[in-house]
Amino acid sequence: MNFKRGLIAGMLGTVAGALIPVLWIGGYTLFYWFWHDSPAMDREADLAYWRDYGIGPVIGLAFYFGLSAWATYTPREYYRFVSTLGIMFVISIPLTLLLSSLQLTPQGKRAPDDPTLFFSEFLIIVLPPLAVACLIILFRWFRSRKLEDASQPANPHT
């Protein structure tokens, strides 16, 4: 296991995961404003919308990219980032939906003094991809140990 390489890759993946949607959406929005000569009122409405609803997807993508990079580069062998990201999505999204269907969070209309995200909601969002990343690392570690044991010749003197 190469924990230092995994942590550095995880941090770089987190930064990339946060920058990609910001640059993509920001570039599209700026191009759209320029192309359609949007009035100031529309630009302000777009910015208010992204301030309110855009932070969740940016944080989520940064989290998934960071965990995928961590799970890809922590094992000694070389794996592909995209396949790890695909495995993370395919397994953790259904787990998140399953946990959210258990209704562990407070239900009903939110009061103005309620937090934006309850701790139970935070755990439902964070735990499945974190668990999947840990399982990917453990699976790859056990697999590399078995390959190392199989590649070493048996000791004839025992």
Residue 110's identity, in one-letter code, is: R
CB 65 within 8 A of CB 16: yes
Using one digit for the tens of pLDDT, what is the confidence trace for 64-115? Answer: 999 999 999 998 888 999 999 999 999 999 998 998 888 877 676 667 777 6
Instruction: pLDDT band for 7, please (50, 70, 90 cuts).
Output: very high
Domain boundaries, the chain: 3-102+117-146
153, pLDDT greater than 80: no
pTM for this prediction:
0.79
